[in-house]
Amino acid sequence: MSQIFYFKQSIVVRDDIKMSKGKIAAQAAHAAVTAAELARKTHPEWYKKWLEEGQKKVVLKVSSEKELLELYEKAKKRNLPTAIIRDMGLTEIPPGTITAIAIGPAPEKLVDDVTGHLLLLK
């Protein structure tokens, strides 16, 4: 029997910049943790349910900074826990490069309203 998830987190990564798989993983992790910590403070009931349900996450991609910022603003306007990640520039990419966002944990329907049209990062 599969579990039904009611809460999730979407992590969205830019695929138009050159990042190694390890760098992508680190940026996605930064986004996930930052947004989860924000949700813990601003939407504790969502955070608690998300933890109880197994912390569902999906990693998606966009093809530009502009698209990433549009998603970020859309999520913020809907009062969803949202984090934006700017790289420090210590390894692979220039300082201040916006690499990823995370939306949620939040009710799955609300997250999907913002990111449901995106493709999975592969």
Q: Which CATH class is domain 7-117?
A: alpha beta
Residue 89, pLDDT > 80, answer: yes
**What pLDDT sits at residue 3?**
61
**Averaged over 58-84, what is the pLDDT?**
98
3-state SS assignment for residue 89:
coil
**What pLDDT sits at residue 95?**
95
Q: Name the pLDDT band for 4 (thresholds 50, 70, 90).
A: low
Residue 1, pLDDT > 90, answer: no
**Averaged over 27-45, what is the pLDDT?**
98
Residue 103, pLDDT > 70, answer: yes
3-state SS assignment for residue 72:
helix
Q: Answer whether 0.75 is exceeded by the pTM.
A: yes
CA 110 to chain CA mean position, Å: 13
